[in-house]
Copies of this chain bind each other. A is one copy, B any other.
Amino acid sequence: MIRKRAATIIDVAKQANVSIGTVSNVLNHAANVSEKTKRKVEEAIGILSYSPNDAARSIRTGRTHSIGIVVPDIMNEYYAKTIQALMDAAYKENYTALITCFKNRPQYEEKLLNMLIDRRVEAIGIMGGVEDNELVKEVAQKVPVLLIDRRIEGSGLSAVQFDNCSALMEMVAVLKEAGYRKIGYMSETLAMTNIADRYQGFLQAMKGNGLAVDESCVWLSKDLQLEKNQNGYKLMKKILNERKRSELPEVLLTSSDLIAVGVMDAVKEAGFRIPHDIGIVGFDNITLSNHTFPTLTTVEQDMETIGKTSWDVIRQLMKRRTKIVHEITLEQGLVFRDSCKLPERIKNR
């Protein structure tokens, strides 16, 4: 079987014995077309199983009805759910989202962004680590950019973010109330604002609550950006090998549920009990966190909401050629489960 060349608007016009302008009018539900010719055209379209070529259309109209999304990867449920919500919202308004993943490899980022620009996406949403802020600003000269779950200080770029700092401050306050004093912290490096904000919240809260930060219990590692689960496990295993029990924190805050789960595996493997010997706190509230043993105390980020909100803002950004800056901050929520020793009165909040 040989696939036929796709029919064009010219073929349809010939088949229906009308001009291509008329076919175009039918296609676009435009200008009064008589019922009769409309039927003729539609019949011809059916016979030839014609479908309009979007590229040709977009070259004329100057619009592509597509947006670009840049994320580290889609394998992390946090990204997957956010993107899904954003895509769904866009799709309902006949926009297609081009998803691109750069796996935290800087050399990919530029290539991906250029690809999106070549495709003339009408806006770009950037989630996570495009590390080269200058690059992002250049891109924003050409096409509206929305930063999702991050920001670039002083760039005048729109952003939808969570209030990471507050969430961590609350969490630390609760841990203190629960009797914890020696609070450890494990995170990817602080390149992204969302991650940095959490750490700031941690530091502020420790200070505010009169607790000392034990620097030997703070681990910031670049490895934790990807394969968080695996790398969290490895890092914790190494820590447990090197230290005596008294040198461990009483509770360990982490910047991701996946990291937390890896850490828990290492801890359990070393024969410690959670939360009896050490408490663990995650971040994201992915499905996994409610099914680990013990279940994981964490910070909930509402992916549905950030995804939808991002689309709303992107739509605003596309509307006008003049630039306006949107800054939206969403609240997170604390989820108390069994991986920390918490009094009932706290759990029931």
A179 within 8 A of B: no
Known interface pairs A52-B118, A118-B53, A141-B49; A291-B84 also in contact (CB < 8 Å): no
Residues 42-61 of A, flagged 1 when their CB comes within 8 A of B and 0 if not, give: 00000001011111101100
Q: Are A3 and B141 in contact (CB-based, < 8 A)? A: yes
Copies in the complex: 2
By a CB distance below 8 angstroms, the chain B residues around A118 are: 51-54
Q: Which of A69-77, A207-215, A308-316 contacts B (4 or more CB under 8 A)?
A: A69-77
A280-333 with Cβ < 8 A to chain B = 287-288, 291-293, 321-323
Q: Which of A17-25, A93-101, A167-175, A244-252 contacts B (4 or more CB under 8 A)?
A: A93-101
A132 within 8 A of B: no
Q: Are A117 and B51 in contact (CB-based, < 8 A)? A: yes
A127 within 8 A of B: no
Q: Are A64 and B75 in contact (CB-based, < 8 A)? A: no
Residues 140-156 of A, flagged 1 when their CB comes within 8 A of B and 0 if not, give: 01111000000000000
Q: Are B64 and A74 in contact (CB-based, < 8 A)? A: no
By a CB distance below 8 angstroms, the chain B residues around A77 are: 75, 77, 80
In angstroms, Cα B265 to Cα A64, docked, is 46
User: Nearest Cβ distance between residue A295 and chain B, in whole angstroms?
Assistant: 9
Please give me the residue from chain B that is nearest to A81 by CB atom.
B75
Interface centre among A75, A117, A261 (most CB of B within 10 A): A75
In angstroms, Cα B96 to Cα A216, docked, is 45
A344 within 8 A of B: no
A120 is contacted by which of B53, B64, B144, B292 (Cβ under 8 Å)? B53
In angstroms, Cα B100 to Cα A91, docked, is 9
By a CB distance below 8 angstroms, the chain B residues around A74 are: 74, 80, 83-84
By a CB distance below 8 angstroms, the chain B residues around A30 are: none
A114 within 8 A of B: yes
User: Nearest Cβ distance between residue A164 and chain B, in whole angstroms?
Assistant: 23
A322 is contacted by which of B2, B54, B287 (Cβ under 8 Å)? B2
Q: Are A96 and B98 in contact (CB-based, < 8 A)? A: yes
By a CB distance below 8 angstroms, the chain B residues around A261 are: 291
Q: Are B96 and A1 in contact (CB-based, < 8 A)? A: no
By a CB distance below 8 angstroms, the chain B residues around A115 are: 96
In angstroms, Cα B287 to Cα A141, docked, is 40
A269 within 8 A of B: no
A-B contact pairs, 10 of them (CB 8 A): A3-B141, A49-B142, A53-B59, A53-B120, A74-B74, A74-B84, A75-B80, A80-B80, A98-B98, A229-B287
Interface residues of A (CB under 8 A from B): 1-3, 6, 49, 51-56, 58-59, 64, 73-75, 77, 80-81, 83-84, 87-88, 91, 96, 98-101, 103, 114-115, 117-120, 138, 141-144, 229, 258, 261, 264-265, 287-288, 291-293, 321-323
